[in-house]
Amino acid sequence: MSLSRKIRVLIVDDSAFMRKVIGDILSAEPAIEIVGKARNGDEAITRLKELSPDVITLDMEMPGKNGVEVLREIMKVKPVPVVMVSSLTKEGANVTMQALGAGAVDFVTKPSGTISLDMEKVGDELRQKIIAASRASMKNAFGEGGVRVKSRASLTPPLVPPREAPRRPEMVVVASSTGGPNALQEVIPGLSRDFPVPILIVQHMPPGFTTSFAIRLNERSKINVTEACDGMPVRRGTAIIAPGGYHLVVERGSTDFLCRLIETPPVRSVRPAADVLFASVSDVVGGNVIVVVLTGMGKDGLDGTRLLRAKGAYVIAESRETCVIYGMPGAVHEAGLVDELLPIYSIAGALERVVKRTD
């Protein structure tokens, strides 16, 4: 969507108070225009057809059809970017994962329950995510359980020819943000049970949601997937996800690399930040590393990738053709740091090829 005009937003929430609060928050951004509001799923579909909004905010908990059911109907009727508004509960986190799998571009959490008097606490985040969602590629966001590509044969070949990778990579590090949960559900379950190195993942999510995501990803994968905790050994055949609210760094123990969780300030407005993880891996592990940068808005991972690439790390980035948002991989590509630029469905195979080479 061109940003020469305002981003037209439809707000869906069963609470009149929350509709007003969200509307006031978004109206504070000159680039956003509220074109309509709806109090339930049926009204949302009617407004969608009438107004053709650029982005929808969709409450997760509504009477009748819940947010995920409404989202699935939106994706059938007229797919547009949807930002879910979720409660910060265990059940809310589980349902949010379902929503992301059903095509939601992103989500924000209500700070204090279904009726949040302090919604302004996440006002900046909501405005930023609406702007990001307006740039999303719906053909890549839409698809139950992961990215769906209609015709893989018709897609362009890799835009960057691969160079020689590290002979024995010790670790894979991954950065992902908007659209990342579905992208990771394409990559990690695609790895074989005998994948020989550990994987450390930074997926931008708030506290409480990475636990649910790790469980969901583990259920679908052949390798073990877990959320990081402080002091956890970094071992082969395991993917470790940085918990929301903490930066993940690596230190060298007596026999293993160890995870450490720190609460230093956000970097590029996010915590966890891929740049923090990548910098620590550069210091402790060096260049025998594979870097993977997936879909996401902004430039998190760029500085850390530059550090690792200077030491010889091999860099794989997701290509524009399957990204929901090409910001993060686009930044490392434009900086000349990418060794392979690949669609999401080719990345697991590339990882297998690079880590298992014997020559």
Catalytic residue set? 177, 204, 300
Q: Give 222-225 contacts, CB < 8 A, sequence gap 24+.
A: 222/189, 222/191, 222/192, 222/193, 222/195, 223/188, 223/191, 223/192, 223/193, 223/195, 223/199, 225/188
For residue 273, the one-letter residue type is: A
CA distances from 235 to 32, 177, 211, 352, 356 (A): 46, 24, 19, 17, 16
φ and ψ at residue 174, rounded to 5 degrees: -130, 135
The rounded Cα 162 to chain-centroid distance in angstroms is: 25
Residues 188 and 45: their CA atoms lie apart, in Å, by 35
